[in-house]
Amino acid sequence: MSAVESFSAVEIIAAKRDRNVLTDPQIDWVIDAYTRGVVADEQMSALLMAILLNGMGSHEIARWTDAMINSGERMNWSALDRPTVDKHSTGGVGDKITLPLAPLVAACGGAVPQLSGRGLGHTGGTLDKLESIPGWRASISNEEMLAVLQKCGAVICAAGAGLAPADKKLYALRDVTATVEAIPLIASSIMSKKIAEGTSALILDVKTGVGAFMADPERAKELARTMVDLGKRAGVNTRALVTAMDVPLGMTAGNALEVRESVEVLAGGGPNDIVELTLILAREMLDAAGISGKDPEKALKDGSAMDVWRTMISAQGGNPDAPLPVAREQLVISAPSSGTMLSMDAMKVGVAVWRLGAGRSRQGEQVQAGAGIEIHCKPGEVITAGSPIFTLHTDTPERFARAQEILSDSVIIGQLPQGGKVDRMPLILERIEG
């Protein structure tokens, strides 16, 4: 270590190991020194594990978040004549809500600067989905981003290298050191990017249930509260909804399949759960942005949200009229018995979609645009033996066996007692406002 450094990493690791509260200068230094490469990966790994085991107080989390924001640039949308508002989802299976939501909110008068990510593991990434549209580009400059926002009212693109670079390094390290699951680290990671993105209002969709990152609703609520507090402290009007991810959202999971379903929603159709959640989030976003008197349901029905979608896709080189890629091979999985579908395990469906080639297991891996699953029947529906439950799609049929393996017990079909109801999580479990 250089003699001019203000602290030693070892002393900061020991402080957290011994359950002490880290000071502001310690936090500022350790994040900055790690970003500069002065604190080594093995030292940061030890500190992250100490944070995971011993936690952080609310002031420590806020300071850690600020230090991550200060590691890079902050975007500024003051040139826009509309209020900015964004949505972030912690991710789930079939969660394509951003696709209809961003143009819908823009059609109602908001400006939506959506910096999105790629999928890793069983949950899909918004950029992978949009890249299935021929010609569409995820990487655009900050100037182009502003131009698309000014023209369309919404932009969905990749975060540039200059935004919260500390988080990029920390997230990659957490991924390989079993330290992703710490609430202070998740909250600071998500909120540093959203605050640096420069939005004035933010709605968080924190998923819970077997298909979510935070399966336990109580932990999901704690994460939501922590993020809302961080947003409020930074002057971002932040609210969170804790929403169900016990069952996949909608009737498709996979990149092009989800774009197709999103376009159906923008055309005034689509599955009820997707439409309902899109409208709930749109109303929250408009309210948080201070926009009143607009009816998002009308904007879906009258085609104005679809108009924004088409200009937004074209502005980034995409052809909204081009046919979407279709996987070369399909395989139908049928119900083994008759009865009521009692449950469908979102995590198992998500892993199957990933095994079919829609997701990646390493950063930088190629994904198949057409791979995924169509769902023909959801919990609560009556089904007869031999009728289709899933259609699997892939370009590489050798993947079918592994997808079928995980799907083999993903659905329970049985008999409901007289007057009985299928046990499902409510769509919205909790609403948290700062």
Read off the DSSP letter of residue 214: B
Least distance from C-beta 152 to ligand URA, angstroms?
25
**Could you say whether residue 126 binds ligand URA (CB under 6 A)?**
no
Q: Token digits for 180?
A: 């992703």
How many other β-carbons are positioned within 10 Å of the β-carbon of residue 233? 18
Do 49 and 19 meet the contact criterion of CB atoms below 8 Å apart? no
In the complex with ligand URA, which residue's Cβ is closer, 7 or 171?
A: 171
Q: Is residue 179 near ligand URA by the rule CB under 6 A?
A: no
Which of 281, 297, 196 has the alpha carbon at shortest distance from 239?
281
Q: List, by residue number, the catalytic residues.
A: 88, 167, 174, 189, 193
- The least distance separating ligand URA from the CB of residue 353, rounded to whole angstroms, comes to 19
- 189 lies in the binding site for ligand URA (CB under 6 A): yes
With residue 341 as reference, give the H or E element that holds it.
strand 339-344
Q: Answer yes or no: are the C-beta atoms of 98 and 280 closer than 8 Å.
A: no
User: 389 near 383, Cβ under 8 Å?
Assistant: yes
Binding of residue 186 to ligand URA (CB under 6 A): yes
The stretch among 2-10, 64-72, 183-191, 312-320 that binds ligand URA (CB under 6 A) is 183-191
For ligand URA (CB under 6 A), the number of binding residues is: 6
**190 binds ligand URA, rule: CB under 6 A:** yes
Look at strands 201-208 and 85-89 and give their pairing.
parallel
E-assigned strand segments in 178-273 = 201-208, 237-244, 252-253
Is residue 202 a contact point for ligand URA (CB under 6 A)? no
Q: How many CB atoms lie within 10 A of CB 2?
A: 6
Q: Which phi-psi region, left, alpha or beta, contains residue 317 (left: φ > 0; alpha: ψ -120 to 50)?
A: left
Residues ≥6 apart with Cβ < 8 Å to 51: 16, 179, 182, 184, 185
Burial class (CB in 10 A: 0-12, 13-18, 19+), 303: middle
Smallest gap from residue 358 Cβ to ligand URA (A) = 19
Q: Does 52 participate in binding ligand URA (rule CB under 6 A)?
A: no
Q: Pick from 236, 173, 224: which is nearest to 31 by CA? A: 173
Nearest distance, CB of residue 203 and ligand URA, angstroms: 16
Q: Which is nearer to ligand URA, 176 or 332 (CB)?
A: 176
String of contacts with ligand URA for each residue 134-173, x by CB under 6 A? -------------------------------------x--
Q: Decide: is 204 part of the binding site for ligand URA (CB under 6 A).
A: no
Q: Does 353 bind ligand URA (CB under 6 A)?
A: no
Q: How far is the CB of 174 from ligand URA (least distance, A)?
A: 7
**In the complex, least distance from residue 367 CB atom to ligand URA, rounded to whole angstroms:** 18
280 contributes a contact to ligand URA by CB under 6 A:
no
Contacting residues toward ligand URA, per CB under 6 A: 171, 180, 185-186, 189-190
